Amino acid sequence: QVQLVESGGGLVQPGGSLRLSCTASGSIDNINAMAWYRLEPGRQRVLVAVITSGGTTDYTASVKGRFTISRDNAKNTVFLQMNSLKPEDTTVYYCNADWGSGVQRALFWGQGTQVTVSS
């Protein structure tokens, strides 16, 4: 089992920045990758950014060049630095851990943190 605790959401003006944090605890040695998702219209969770255990990163097209995912292994924490925020970035963001393999593979989720971009 993995527990994920997020922080860092809030209200920011268009063009501003926020940094989300996600701290993992529990059986963290078996985490393959960590990611940030957000709710899109239709209330589906859509992948925003991912970082693998090897440090490879990837982003959805709409945030490339604006968002950066990184991690601090010593603190078991993943960050999402969000710059040049737009009103359309407003939604709930979720931290995700891809854990284990085969029949033991599982996805774990944080509780979600609200990001609001508005003047």
Q: What is the pLDDT of residues 65-115, one digit of tens each?
A: 999 999 998 889 999 999 999 999 999 999 999 998 889 889 999 999 999
pLDDT over threshold 80, residue 63: yes
pLDDT score at 104: 87
Please give the Cα distance from 97 to 117 (Å, whole number): 26
Q: How many CA atoms lie within 13 A of 14 on its CB side?
A: 5
Q: Is the pLDDT of residue 41 over 90?
A: no
Separation of alpha carbons 21 and 119, rounded Å: 24
The band of 58, judged by pLDDT with boundaries at 50, 70 and 90, is very high
Q: Check residue 43 and give its pLDDT.
A: 79
pLDDT tens, 5-20? Answer: 999 999 999 999 999 9
42, pLDDT greater than 90? no
β-pairing, 77-82 vs 57-59, is: unpaired
Who's near 66: CB < 8 A, 6+ residues apart? 82, 83, 84, 85
Tell me how far apart the alpha carbons of residues 78 and 9 are, in angstroms, rounded to a whole number: 14
